[in-house]
Amino acid sequence: MGLCVCVCVCVCRPVTQSQCNQFYILSVIQQNVEEDIEDLDHYEMKEEEPVDGKKSEDDGIEKENLAILEKIRKNQRQDHLNGAVSGSVQASDRLMKELREIYRSQSYKTGIYSVELVNDSLYEWHVKIRTVDPDSPLHSDLQVMKEKEGVDYILLSFSYKDNFPFDPPFVRVVSPVLSGGYVLGGGALCMELLTKQGWSSAYSIESVIMQINATLVKGKARVQFGANKNQYNLARAQQSYKSLVQIHEKNGWYTPPKEDG
């Protein structure tokens, strides 16, 4: 009888206050651990989202332009593996940054100008100026050219060297043939900012494009319909540019103002 009572007492006796406190503490700890694990999972997911989205670099860039940037990166990696690296790391990094900023630009997105890489080269660009001041004679000429030839833009060539951005790009008009607008023989441009003397590594390529746009209008550029299109070529443009630099190094840049050439 006593044994039975003892067993019943051992098994069925009430839990003490101390034991209740221990059970409660253990229960709270277990609950907090489970909540912490859930919070950690949620935190890790939130941390991964910006990585997938690449928000810092690619935000505001259209998918087709992101594909171009990725193609350039792949080409650069392949060239590196093949030992056929062109350009310099400094110039390539800056040009990638310039291209990325252009793809984000409202002026680019609204069609004021467009940019294409020549043969996928980061160092050779074709820039098409598609919109100029609607009150300018040049705008009227572009409308006529569109009706006659199906082309309504001014095509520019931008060439970059390994030491970019410390030297300016070489810029020339490819087509159409223009008179006025500070356009020289071969299509070179008379603008101080495109020379070593007037260039700054802080200038963005978009600002250069927009300045050329404004300079053509201010210089009263006109399309020369019927002109020999072969008169614009790289060799003649380089010679005109060389002569331009020599003249201005000797005499300075007085008139027109610096931004106009």
Catalytic residues: 190
Picking from 153, 83, 81, 163, the residue whose alpha carbon sits closest to that of residue 123 is 163
The CA distances from residue 174 to 136, 156, 195, 197, 233, in Å, are 21, 5, 19, 24, 7
Residue partners of 143: CB distance under 8 A and separation at least 6: 152
Picking from 149, 114, 106, the residue whose alpha carbon sits closest to that of residue 131 is 114
Strand partners, 157: 126, 172
DSSP annotation string for 42-60: HHHHHHHHHHHHTHHHHTT
- Supply the Cα-derived Rg of the chain in whole angstroms: 34
Rounded Cα–Cα distance for residues 184 and 197 (Å): 19
Tally of CB atoms within 10 A around 219: 21
Contact of 192 with 156, CB cutoff 8 Å:
no
Rounded Cα–Cα distance for residues 55 and 36 (Å): 28
Q: What is the DSSP letter of 13?
A: S
